[in-house]
């Protein structure tokens, strides 16, 4: 169960312009992901700082 080259893991979020990076909070995020988790990650201060 690995990550396919060129695809972001389901548990991570990234803006469209991030080609090689993604974001996941290891302390609060599960590896399975899901829309609720992705929305919560997008609202985190660090992610907002990096993307806005």
What's the pLDDT score for residue 1? 56
| pLDDT: which is higher, 3 or 15 | 15
Give how many domains the chain has, as a whole number.
1
Query: What tens digit of pLDDT does each residue of 4-41 get?
Result: 777 778 888 988 888 888 888 888 888 888 899 999 99
Provide the residue range defining the domain that includes 41.
1-52
Alpha-carbon Rg for the chain, nearest whole angstrom, is 11
For 40-49, b/e burial (b = at least 16 CB within 10 A) is ebeeeeebee
- Whether 47 shows a pLDDT value over 80: the answer reads yes
Query: What is the rounded distance in angstroms from the CA atom of residue 12 to the CA atom of residue 17?
Result: 15
pTM for this entry: 0.72
Nearby residues of 10 by Cβ (< 8 Å), 6 or more positions away? 32, 33, 34
pLDDT, residue 20, reads 83
Phi, psi torsion values for 15, nearest 5 degrees? -75, 160
């Amino acid at each position: 169960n690995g990550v396919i080259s060129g695809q972001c893991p389901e548990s991570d979020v990234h803006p469209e312009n991030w080609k090689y990076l993604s974001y996941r909070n290891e302390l609060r995020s599960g590896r399975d992901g899901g829309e609720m988790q992705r929305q919560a990650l997008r609202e985190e201060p660090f992610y907002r700082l990096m993307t806005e």
